[in-house]
A and B are shown apart, each in its own frame.
Chain A
Amino acid sequence: DAMVIQNPRYQVTQFGKPVTLSCSQTLNHNVMYWYQQKSSQAPKLLFHYYDKDFNNEADTPDNFQSRRPNTSFCFLDIRSPGLGDAAMYLCATSREYAAKEQYFGPGTRLTVT
């Protein structure tokens, strides 16, 4: 089945130790998104790609970076995780911009110790 896959599902990292989360999609969608979601809150958009065109949200910390080497894969790099970065990280895709629905992966739960 076509889908959005995230690995790992759970990630534990130490304070300040770089971590990379990965996302892949078989939907062949142009747009890929990274969201951060904390408990009982709405997803917060960090950045998105339209094809290889990268778009950063104004309030996304510099600590967060992203790479999209090809249509199918997208990575989220957290250079120096702090305790406040512990959250669920959701990858999503859409065929086009927000005029169309987004398809979410299962998420990666990040714990920072």
Chain B
Amino acid sequence: GQQVMQIPQYQHVQEGEDFTTYCNSSTTLSNIQWYKQRPGGHPVFLIQLVKSGEVKKQKRLTFQFGEAKKNSSLHITATQTTDVGTYFCAGPRDSNYQLIWGAGTKLIIKP
């Protein structure tokens, strides 16, 4: 069946280092969404990418959608403690347009 895979599962970084999470779909997606979930919180929508090769920036966050619309990445420059949480990608399922979620990447800042 249709799958969205996300790696890595965890990433430990020192504050100030960069962070990247990668998302790969088994099928072409019409769009891809990114959500952030803080510890103990609920998912919060960050962005939606729609166009092939699209790149969008939000301050220190850079989102990319691959040319084939099957992969995506989120890159955070110079991480801060406020970036801690789990980042999920999600794309619509072909059959009923409901979101298929990646497993998430947990960003952990080393003390």
Residues of A at the B interface (CB closer than 8 Å) are: 40-43, 45, 48, 55, 57, 90, 92, 97-107
Interface SS of A by simple majority = loop
Q: How far is the CB of B22 from chain A (nearest CB, A)?
A: 15
The answer to whether A42 and B96 have CB atoms under 8 Å apart is no
The answer to whether A42 and B97 have CB atoms under 8 Å apart is no
The residues of A that contact B45 with a CB separation of less than 8 Å are: 101-103
B88 in contact (CB, < 8 A): yes
B103 in contact (CB, < 8 A): yes
The answer to whether A42 and B102 have CB atoms under 8 Å apart is yes
The answer to whether B88 and A48 have CB atoms under 8 Å apart is no
The answer to whether B104 and A101 have CB atoms under 8 Å apart is no
The answer to whether B102 and A97 have CB atoms under 8 Å apart is no
Interface SS of B by simple majority = loop
The answer to whether B103 and A98 have CB atoms under 8 Å apart is no
B68 in contact (CB, < 8 A): no
Interface residues as binary, B18-33 with A (CB distance below 8 Å gives 1, 0 otherwise): 0000000000001101
Interface residues as binary, B29-42 with A (CB distance below 8 Å gives 1, 0 otherwise): 01101000000011
The residues of A that contact B98 with a CB separation of less than 8 Å are: 45, 48, 57, 97-98
Q: Which of A45, A90, A98 contacts B43 (CB 8 A)?
A: A90
Kindly list the 9 A-B residue pairs having the minimum CB-CB distance in the complex, ordered from nearest.
A98-B92, A42-B101, A101-B45, A97-B97, A104-B42, A98-B97, A98-B99, A104-B43, A107-B42
